Amino acid sequence: MYAQAQKMAKEQATSGVNMLKEVQEKLREMYDQELKFEKLEEDCRLPSLTHDVCLITQLRRMTEGLPALHLQEIFEQLQELYNPMYNELRNRRREKISDISRMLQTNGPSRQEALKEMSKKTRRQLEQAKLREKEASDAAELIKRVKNMLRV
Q: From first to last of the 152 residues of the chain, give the pLDDT tens digit.
A: 777 877 887 788 788 778 878 888 887 777 776 656 666 666 665 554 444 556 666 666 666 666 666 667 777 777 777 788 888 888 888 888 888 888 878 877 777 788 888 888 888 988 998 898 889 888 888 888 888 888 87
Q: What is the pLDDT of residue 113?
A: 82
Q: Determine the Cα–Cα distance for residues 104 and 24; give it in Å rounded to an integer.
A: 9
Select from 19, 18, 13, 17 the least CA-distant residue to 122: 13
Q: Determine the Cα–Cα distance for residues 19 and 52; give it in Å rounded to an integer.
A: 42
Q: What is the pLDDT of residue 69?
A: 61
Single-letter code of the amino acid located at 59: L
The full set of domain ranges for the chain reads 22-64+74-150
Instruction: Give the global pTM.
Output: 0.34
Q: What is the pLDDT of residue 18?
A: 81
Q: What is the pLDDT of residue 87?
A: 83
Select from 144, 100, 134, 123 the least CA-distant residue to 12: 123
Q: What is the pLDDT of residue 118?
A: 86
Q: What is the pLDDT of residue 68?
A: 60
